[in-house]
Structure 1
Amino acid sequence: MKEKKEMIVKTTNKTTFESLFGFSLDECKRWRSLVTLLCRPMDPASLGIMRIVFGLLMVIDIPQERGLGHADVRFQQNVCYFPFFNFLQPLPIQWMFVVYGFMWLGAFGIMLGFLYRLSCFLFMVPYWYIFLLDKTSWNNHSYLYGLISVMFFLCDANRYWSVDGLLWKSCRNSHVPLWNYTVFRFQVFLVYFYAGIKKLDLDWMFGYSMTNLSKKWVFDPFRLLMTDDQIDLYIVHLGGLTLDMFAGFLLFFDKTRPLAFFFVGSFHFMNSQMFSIGMFSYTMLATMLIYCYADWPRLLFRKCPQWIKIVLPSDDAIQTSSYCIYSKEDIKPENRKKKTNESKSKDAPSNKPPPTAPGFTHQIWTFIVLTYIATQLVLPFSHGLTKGYNNWTNGLYGYSWDMMVHRWSTQHIRITYVDKKTGDVGYLAPDAFNNERHSRWSAHADMVKQYGTCLADRLKQYDLEDIELYFDIWKSLNQRFQQRMFDPRVNILEAEWHPFKKTSYVEPLLVDLSGWREKLDQIKDQLDNHTDVVFVADFPGLYLENFVQEDLSNTSITVLAGEILVELVDRKENYTLSVNQSMQLPPDEFHNIHTISEVPSCYMYMFVNTTDIDYEKKFREYEEYFNMTKNCTDNCAEKSSNLTKKFANDPKRDHYDQRIAKREERQQKIQLPAWSKFFKFISFKLDIFRRSFTLIGGAVKCMVLQQNFEEFLTSVYESESSAGNNSPEPGTSPAEISVNI
C-alpha cells in the first residue's frame, strides 16, 4: 500500500512539461543529469522491429534503386563520373559487384540481427562509397538511408528478436539507452520539419514547383470537390507544406499520434503510388513506429494466438545493461533479488550491479550523440560556408531536405571545344562520355567543372591535347524563362572552382522576372494544340545562336521586355526589335539573337511543326481505314485492298503499324485481371534479383577461378537476348555512341 501511495505521489508531482515530453528541463541543465537522461534504460523492442524492417527493405532495395541489378551499365569504363571527392573512382566492374554483394549481405545481417555490428559495417561502408561516387544520383532519401545506417551502427538494435540474442546471452533482451531512440526520433523529426521550412520558398507556396501532380489517380477523391489547379495548389503545395511542418510534432505527442498516423501514413502511401522512389515511402512508414512507446511490440505479441508465438520473441524479463544508467530505486536489493529470481530460468548473465552514475563510456556516447544532432541541425543550412556548391539553388540536392521544391527543365546544352594549336572549333554531344543516368551535372557548377576536366582527358585519344572548353547551358527553374546558367565565354578548364568560394562563372537566376510566370501561362492557354512556344531571357552583351529546322514553319520571335537585334546569318541581315515587336524567322537557316538593351531581354519563340501535323493527320486516316478493315463483317478483302493501295507508297506505314501495335499492347495490359498483373509484377522483380545474384556469383567465381569476367558478362547478355530481355551490348560505352566531334 505504501509503494502504491508513493507511486501516486510521484506521478502527480510531474510538471506539465514532463508529462508531455517525458523528461524535465532540470535534467538538461547540467552535463551529469543530461548524460543520465540520455542513458536512461529503455525497452529494446521497438528499436528491434525498426531494425528488422529497415534491413528487409534494404535487402529489397539494393538490387533495384541502389543499382545492383544494372551495375554493369552504371559503372562502365571510359565514362565520366561525378564523385564528391575527386580521388574516389569506381572499381573495375567485377569488384563493384563484390562491393554490392557485401552491402547486400550487410543488409541481410541487419535484418536478422546476426553479427550485428559487423553487418552494419558491411552495409554502411559500401553504401557510402557508392553514394559518394556519383553526385548526380543524390537525393534526400538516399542520403537518409546512409544516415540510418550510421545510426544503426551506433545503436544496440540487436537486443531484441535477433540471432545475436540466441547466440550470446548478454545481449538477449537487454535494455538500450534512451539515446538509441533519441537519435532516430530526432532525425525523422528533422526530415519533416526542415522539409517544411524549405517549402516556405515562394515558388512552392504559390504552386510552381509540382504542377500537374493532381492528374494522378490518388487525388480522385479530391477531384469531386476541387479542380486540378486547386488540388495542385491547396492539397499538393499548401497541404504538403503544412504536413511537413507539423508531422514531427504530431508524431511526438501521445494524443496527436493517431492523427499523425492517419495523415502521415496517407501521405507516404500516396507518394509510393506517384513516384518511383524505391522503398523510401515504406521506410518512412516504419519510422513512425519509433515514436510509439518502446514496448508496443510486446503488448502486440501478447495478444497473438499461442500457435504463432513459436516464431515470436520470448517475453522474458528485460536484462540490465552496462550502457544504461539506473536509478538507485531500480536496483534496491529486494528489487534485484526479485528480478534475479525471475531471470534465473532465463540464463541471466550475471548479478553484477548495473551503473547508477555516469561513467566515462556514458559520457563519450552522449558526446557522440550531441555531436551528431548538432551536425544535422547545421548541415542543411551550411550554404554560407560551402559557397562553391551554390548555384540557382543552395548546395547539392540531396542533403538539405528541400524535397520537390525545385523543378528543372533543360532547353539547350552546347559544349564547344577549341583546339589551341590549330584554332579548329568543334562541338560535343552533351552526353559524350557520359552515362545517361548522369543528367543532373548540367545544373551544378562543380559538376560542370568535373565534366570539363574529364572531357579534356578523354579527348586526348582523338589527338586533341590542348583545348579550351565552353559550356552554354539553358535551363528554367520552376516555370521561369529559359536562361543561361553559366557564362558561355568562360573556358571551364581554366575557371576556378573551390568548395568554399563563390563560383564566378555562374550566371544569376533572373528572379526579378518571376512575376512573368502568370502571364506566360496565359499566353500558353491562348495557343492552339499545334503551336509550341519557348520563353527565353538573356543577359546584356550576350547572344543566342539558333537554327530553325525546315519542318518548323511559321516560326516567329516576339519581344516581351528589353531590346534585341536579330541577325540572319546566311542573309547577312540585321533587325532590331523592341517590346511587343515580332518578326518571322526563315526556316532552314541560322540566326543570332543579340541582347542590346541595358537590362535582360525577354522574348518568345512561337512555331508550328508542320511535319508532325502532317504525320498525325495521315496516321488518323490510316487508323480509320485499319479499324474498318479489322472490324469488317463483309467485303473485308476489298477494304483491305483499298487500305493497301491508299498507303502503298507511304514511307511511314510501318511506323503506323508499330504505333497501333504498341497501343493495342498497352490496352491488353490494362485489361489484364488483377492477379495476372500481380504475377507479372512479381516476375519482373524476381528477374531483377536473379540477374543481381547471377552477376555477383559470376564475379566471385571469376575471381576464384581466375576467369575472364568480360566473357562471363557476354554470356549473360546473350542469354538475356535469347530470352527477350533488353541488355546492353557487351563492351559498349556511351562514348562510342554519343561522341560527335
Structure 2
Amino acid sequence: MPNRFLFSKIDNSPLIIFRIFFGMLVALECYGAILTGWIKRTLIEPKFTFSFIGFEWLQPLPGYGMYFYYFIMGTLGILIALGYKYRFTIISFTLMWSGVYLMQKTSYNNHYYLLVLVSGLMCFFPAHRSHSLDVRQNPALKADAMYAWVKWAIIFQLLIVYVYAAIAKVYGDWLDFGIIHILMLGKAHYHVVGDLLQQPWIHKIIGTVGILFDLLIIPALLWKKTRRIAFFISIFFHLFNSFAFQIGIFPYLSLAFTVFFFEPETIRKIFFKGKTPYVLNKVEAPSYKPALYSLGGLYFLLQLALPLRHHVIKDDVLWTEEGHRLSWRMMLRSRSGTIQFKVTEKESGKSEIIDFNDHLSKKQKRRIAAYPDFIWQFAQYLKKEYAEKGIPISVHAANSKVSINGRPWRAFIDPEVDLANAKWDYFWHNEWILPSSGEK
C-alpha cells in the first residue's frame, strides 16, 4: 500500500506549473523588497540586525550589498520559472533565502519560513523535466511523469501549516474575537471598507471563518465533491488577507499550491494543452526509497514537533514568546512594551539609561520592549559596544512592562538580572522573564 501511495507514477503537470508560479512569485517578492524600500528600512538603515539567536554571524552586506543580494535572488526566481540550470538555481535560492531569513527577525512573517521549507523541498523535486530550458538544451531530461510522493510531500506540509494554525486560534482572545477587533483597528482608514471592518459582526465572521478555513481547507480540496467550492473560497480568503494585511506573496503562493489538488488532466488542459498525457504504468519503487523514508520521515517528524514545543516550556507562550516562531501561530497577538536599559560600568559604578535613538531603527524600537529575545540580544550588543572601549558593564532592564492584546501592563523582565551576562536558553524557559501570573 505505501508503495502504491508514494511510488505510483502520475502526470507531472501540477509540479511543472507550480515551478513556474513559484519562480515568478519569489522574483516578485525579491524585486518588490528593493522597490518598496523594505531592504533599506530593514537591512541597510539599522546599525545592527536582530538575527535568530545563534546566527549572529549572518549580517547584512555592507553598503548597497543587500540590493545586489536581493536582485540575485529575484533573478534566480526567474531562472527557476524558466527551468534553467534548475538544480543550481533552486539550491542557490534556498541557501540565499535561508540566509536572509535567519539574518533578521524585526520584520517577521510566517511566509518567509514557509518559503525556506518549500524551496528546500523543491531542491529534491524533478520540476525541470518538462517545459524548461533544461529540457530544450538536453531533451533526454524530458519526462511527463513524477512519483506521487512529490505531490503528497507538498500536501502534507500544507496540512501541517493549516491545522496547526487552526489549533493555535482556539484560545480566549480569538474565540471572543478580541484580537480580531485589535487587528482591524489598523484598517479603519481603508477606503470604502474601513468602517465595515470595525463592526463586531464582521469580527465574528472573520474569527469563525479563520478557524474553519484553516481546519477544513486541505480536506475540502482533497475531496473531489468539495474541491471547486473550496478553491473559490480559497481565492476569496487569500485575496482578503492580501488586501487587509499586505503580507506579500503569501496569499498568492497559497493559491499556487492548489494545483496539486486538481487532477493532472485538468491542469494539463488549462496550462499545457500540447503536453503529452501520461499513461499510468506499474508501480516501481525507486532505488532511493530507503533514503526517502529516512530523510522524509525525519523532516516531517520535526515539522510535527516544532509547533508543539511550547507545551513543554514553562509558562504561557503568549506571554514568554518561547516556542512561538516556526509554529504557525499566525496573527494571534498584539504586543506592546516599555523598557529602559540601565548600563552600569563595573569599575566606576557610573550608570546611564540608553537612548534607543542612538542605536535602533524606528521598527526595531517598536519591537525591543515586547520580545525577550530582542531584549537579551540588545543587552549583548551593548556589552560588545562597551567592551570595544575596554569598559566592562552590567545591563539591567528597568521599568520593563508588557501589554498583550490590550490587557493591563504588567512587569515583564526581572530588573535584578544582569542581562549582559545572562545566558540564553535555546530550548527551555529563561527564568529572567517574569511569570505570567505576576508572581516571582
TM-score, L = length of structure 1: 0.54
| One of 277, 290, 299 as aligned partner of 1:363 | 290
Task: Could you tell me which runs of 5 or more consecutive residues in structure 2 were left unpaired when the two chains were aligned.
Answer: none
Structure 1 segment 62-73 matched on structure 2, within 5 A: 62-65=30-33, 70-73=38-41
Q: Secondary structure at the match of 2:32?
A: coil
Q: Secondary structure at the match of 1:486?
A: coil
Shift of 1:292: 0.9
Structure 1 residue 381 and structure 2 residue 308: aligned? yes
Structure 1 residue 231 and structure 2 residue 202: aligned? yes
Shift of 1:81: 2.5
| One of 466, 476, 490 as aligned partner of 2:392 | 466
The match for 2:275 is 315
The match for 1:254 is 224
| Aligned mates of 1:456, 1:266 — CA distance in 2 | 49
| Aligned mates of 2:406, 2:6 — CA distance in 1 | 47
| Aligned mates of 1:313, 1:166 — CA distance in 2 | 18
| Aligned mates of 1:83, 1:466 — CA distance in 2 | 24
| One of 194, 213, 228 as aligned partner of 2:164 | 194
In structure 2, give the amino acid aligned to 1:459: Y
Q: Secondary structure at the match of 1:63?
A: helix
Structure 1 residue 141 and structure 2 residue 68: aligned? no
| Aligned mates of 1:221, 1:262 — CA distance in 2 | 24
The match for 1:242 is 212
8 Å Cα contact 1:419-1:464 kept in structure 2:
no
Structure 1 segment 642-657 matched on structure 2, within 5 A: none
Distance 1:200 1:77, change over 3 A: closer
Shift of 1:387: 6.7
Distance 1:208 1:72, change over 3 A: closer
Q: Secondary structure at the match of 1:480?
A: coil
The match for 1:433 is 359
Structure 1 residue 483 and structure 2 residue 427: aligned? no
The match for 2:251 is 281
The Cα offsets for residues 573-606 of structure 1, whole Å up to 9 and x where unpaired, read as xxxxxxxxxxxxxxxxxxxxxxxxxxxxxxxxxx
| Aligned mates of 2:195, 2:82 — CA distance in 1 | 42
8 Å Cα contact 2:28-2:74 kept in structure 1:
no
Structure 1 residue 151 and structure 2 residue 121: aligned? yes
The Cα offsets for residues 380-429 of structure 1, whole Å up to 9 and x where unpaired, read as 1123567799571553544211111111123x221111222222221112
Structure 1 segment 86-485 matched on structure 2, within 5 A: 86-90=55-59, 91-93=61-63, 95-211=65-181, 213=184, 228-232=199-203, 234-301=204-271, 314-318=274-278, 326-327=281-282, 357-384=284-311, 392-395=319-322, 397-410=324-337, 412-438=338-364, 439-460=366-387, 463=389, 465-472=391-398, 473-485=400-412
Shift of 1:464: 6.9
| Aligned mates of 1:316, 1:269 — CA distance in 2 | 34
In structure 2, give the amino acid aligned to 1:265: I
| Aligned mates of 2:239, 2:165 — CA distance in 1 | 18
RMSD over equivalenced CA pairs, Å: 3.0
Q: Secondary structure at the match of 2:340?
A: strand
Q: Secondary structure at the match of 1:210?
A: helix
| One of 44, 51, 55 as aligned partner of 2:12 | 44
8 Å Cα contact 1:46-1:289 kept in structure 2:
yes
Q: Secondary structure at the match of 2:31?
A: coil
| Aligned mates of 1:275, 1:394 — CA distance in 2 | 22
Shift of 1:219: 9.2
| Aligned mates of 2:350, 2:198 — CA distance in 1 | 56
Structure 1 segment 490-509 matched on structure 2, within 5 A: 490-509=417-436
Shift of 1:455: 1.1
Distance 1:398 1:499, change over 3 A: closer
| Aligned mates of 2:198, 2:363 — CA distance in 1 | 35
8 Å Cα contact 2:343-2:396 kept in structure 1:
yes
Q: Secondary structure at the match of 1:231?
A: helix
Give the aligned length: 433
| Aligned mates of 1:389, 1:110 — CA distance in 2 | 42
| Aligned mates of 1:218, 1:393 — CA distance in 2 | 37
8 Å Cα contact 2:321-2:371 kept in structure 1:
no
8 Å Cα contact 1:417-1:470 kept in structure 2:
yes
8 Å Cα contact 2:309-2:323 kept in structure 1:
no
The Cα offsets for residues 214-245 of structure 1, whole Å up to 9 and x where unpaired, read as 8666995995xx9812221x112122112211
8 Å Cα contact 1:173-1:319 kept in structure 2:
no
| Aligned mates of 2:104, 2:143 — CA distance in 1 | 40
8 Å Cα contact 1:45-1:296 kept in structure 2:
no
Shift of 1:317: 4.7
8 Å Cα contact 2:42-2:107 kept in structure 1:
no
TM-score, L = length of structure 2: 0.88
Distance 1:76 1:170, change over 3 A: same
| Aligned mates of 2:317, 2:213 — CA distance in 1 | 28
- Pick the structure with greater CA Rg: 1
Task: Could you tell me which runs of 5 or more consecutive residues in structure 1 were left unpaired when the two chains were aligned.
Answer: 1-26, 28-33, 302-311, 321-325, 328-355, 511-537, 541-741
Distance 1:319 1:108, change over 3 A: farther
8 Å Cα contact 2:322-2:429 kept in structure 1:
no
Structure 1 residue 56 and structure 2 residue 24: aligned? yes
Q: Secondary structure at the match of 1:278?
A: coil
8 Å Cα contact 1:386-1:499 kept in structure 2:
no
Distance 1:171 1:496, change over 3 A: same
Shift of 1:274: 0.8
The Cα offsets for residues 52-102 of structure 1, whole Å up to 9 and x where unpaired, read as 111111111113348995535533488232222245231434544443343
In structure 2, give the amino acid aligned to 1:422: S
Structure 1 segment 547-696 matched on structure 2, within 5 A: none
